Structure 1
Amino acid sequence: MFDLKPIGKVASPLASLADAPRQADEGAPAAWLVFEPDMLEGLRDLKVGDEVVVVTWLDRARRDVLSVRPRGDASRPPEGVFSTRAPHRPNPIGLHHTTVLAIDGVRVQVTSLEALDGTPVIDLKPALAADVAQR
């Protein structure tokens, strides 16, 4: 077994699942990533304009779901959860491609984040050139 240690939390105007868009490109607001103070050294080379992937733990997601109707569309046939980006899944890890808007100490503001307020942040990684090209 292994342990995941949250390194911060999302500060967002999205307070409930009903408020959140299904994907970032469906009107997700900018949000702040508020890192633990001991993470400051890890943020030192981050710059405004950097494209990053925020890795979150979708703590309010169900973990017993193995099939879904994509985008909640009842007219579509069910698909296995691993061929979708559904938040409800055995290990509810969220991947969010964003751009850094501002940096204020341990607070980093990013674009279009569909994660709810208080969602644990478990990692932050630079986006690869292939990720940027797909955007």
Structure 2
Amino acid sequence: MHLPELHFIGKVHSDIHNTKDAPKFHAESDRTGTLEIYPQYQDGLKGIAVGQTIVVLCWFHQADRNALQVYPRGDKSKGLRGVFATRSPMRPNPIAISELKVLAVDGCRIEVSGLDILHGTPIVDIKNIPS
């Protein structure tokens, strides 16, 4: 069976440059940043508007892909769990999900708040959350 290739549609611009500075979860973050969407995907942004919440799927390119068990949020008192029972970025396919608030849309750039993603992280997809 031949599977189609995964194509990144853009990248994240943020002031978060390492994992220790990253908020653990988008709902705990007031950080802002920009999603840069590559020009060939700009038409896919039609309908994204200020005030909306969007789901952004990213590829955690710096994540450990060999870990299958982690301590949730690094808290050893919670016990060791399988990565599929957590939101850990360490997993075989390090796909991240964040719900971000749209602050502005300008061409191929979306300014967002609630950012918990490292600068330079590739974007896999964006999905709208219906209101």
Tell me the distance in 2 between the aligned counterparts of 1:64 and 1:7: 25
Change (3 A) 1:97 1:27: closer
Q: Name structure 2 gaps, 5 residues minimum.
A: none
Give the partner amino acid of 1:78: L
Q: What CA deviation, in whole Å up to 9, does each residue of 1:34-74 have, x standing for no partner?
A: 01011111112111111110010010101111111011012
2:29 and 2:115 in contact (8 A); partners too: no
Q: Secondary structure at the match of 1:75?
A: helix
Equivalent residue for 1:84? 86
CA distance in 2, matches of 1:44, 1:30: 22
Matches within 5 A, 1:48-63: 48-63=50-65
Give the direction of change, closer, same or farther, for the CA distance of 1:12–1:104 in structure 2 (3 Å limit): same
Q: Which runs of 5+ in 1 are unaligned?
A: 130-135
| 2: CA distance, partners of 1:25 / 1:50 | 15
Q: Distance in 1 between matches of 2:53 and 2:94?
A: 23
The farther-off stretch of 49-58 and 25-34 is 25-34
Secondary structure of the structure 2 residue equivalent to 1:54: strand
Query: In structure 2, what is the Cα distance between the partners aligned to 1:76 and 1:55?
Result: 27
For 1:26, the equivalent position in structure 2 comes to 28
What corresponds to 1:125 in structure 2?
127
**TM superposition shift of 1:28:** 4.8
Aligned residue runs from structure 1 range 111-122, under 5 A: 111-122=113-124
Q: How does 1:67-78 map to 2 (within 5 A)?
A: 67-78=69-80
* Mapping for residues 85-104 of structure 1, pairs under 5 Å: 85-104=87-106
Deviation >2 Å, runs of 4+: 25-28
How far 1:25 sits from its partner (Å)? 2.8
Secondary structure of 2:117 counterpart: coil
- The equivalent position to 1:14 in structure 2, one of 1, 16, 28, is 16
Task: State the Cα RMSD in Å.
Answer: 1.3
CA distance in 1, matches of 2:29, 2:83: 23
> What is the total number of aligned residue pairs between the two structures?
129
> For residue 54 of structure 1, what is the amino acid of its counterpart?
V
> Is 2:110 aligned against 1:108?
yes
